[in-house]
Structure 1
Amino acid sequence: MEFLNLQIGNKRSPILISLKIFKGIKLFDIRKFYMEKETEDLKPTRKGISLNQNQLNQFLEKINENTTQINDFFDSQNSLKTEITYAQTMGRKFDVRYENNEVKLILDHSFKEKYGTDEINVLKKVILATFNSLYENLEDEAEIQTILDSINFKI
């Protein structure tokens, strides 16, 4: 039985926030969902957390005590170190990887020969913004790679 049902995020993979009773225990639940392709029903993933009243109160207290630090973290997160390298990219024009808190953008050698620094910086921003958006909004790694592959072939 659910008493509250709030949805945030996009329609295909939203986060649902709900109050529910499970095995007689009242819980505050935050869970990532996905949309089933055939029926378009929302289905829960394993990604989520359920908190009892005591845990929820402690959680909210810690959030309220540390709001400034949390906001500072997210504001500074845009400055992730980004390394650009040029290499043979095996039929691709670019590849993007996230390793050790660093984004690695690998561009094919042809970019260095064909474009100037300003054009490469614009391309870098577009590729990284696309990469970040895909990872924030899609669950399926294969779907993300398919989109990146499509972009690769259009460049």
Structure 2
Amino acid sequence: MAQLSLKGYIALPTTRNLKSVDVVVFNEKLSQFAFIQVKSTDKPKSGWPVHTVRKEEEWAQDVRKALDLGERFFYVFVALPNRNQQEPVYYVVPSRDAADMVVADLEKWLSTHPNSGAARQLLAWGYSGLPPHTINKYQNKWELLMPEDQNR
């Protein structure tokens, strides 16, 4: 939220675990908004877990439905400071792009682990989540939150 405030946005945390939304963001004029789900890790090379498949059949549709929440929804993946980096790194990813990347990455992972099947707990098979190389182009892309706001 501090990064959003530094960028001139109004950022409000949600309460009571609003499904899929951690922060609601407005521009200064209150004419635009975005919803953010924050995922953080101090081990970004392992990736960010974003979803657990609940059904073996139609897992790709399940992932897309759970992650692609609409054009005003974003994921902010945070690589927390660790031994290798002193400052946090932020990736601002539209939810549709996150869903597409997770499905593509899982399909690739499944092709190299053919005996795994589409099990319920992806993490249990060794799939660690959305890897950082898939989201590098979104690093510090805060302007994606309010595309019509030319002042960012």
Instruction: Flag whether TM exceeds 0.5 (same fold).
Output: no
TM bucket by the smaller chain?
under 0.3
Q: TM-score, normalised by structure 2?
A: 0.26
Bigger strand fraction:
1
Larger radius of gyration: 1
Bigger helix fraction:
1
Q: TM-score, normalised by structure 1?
A: 0.26
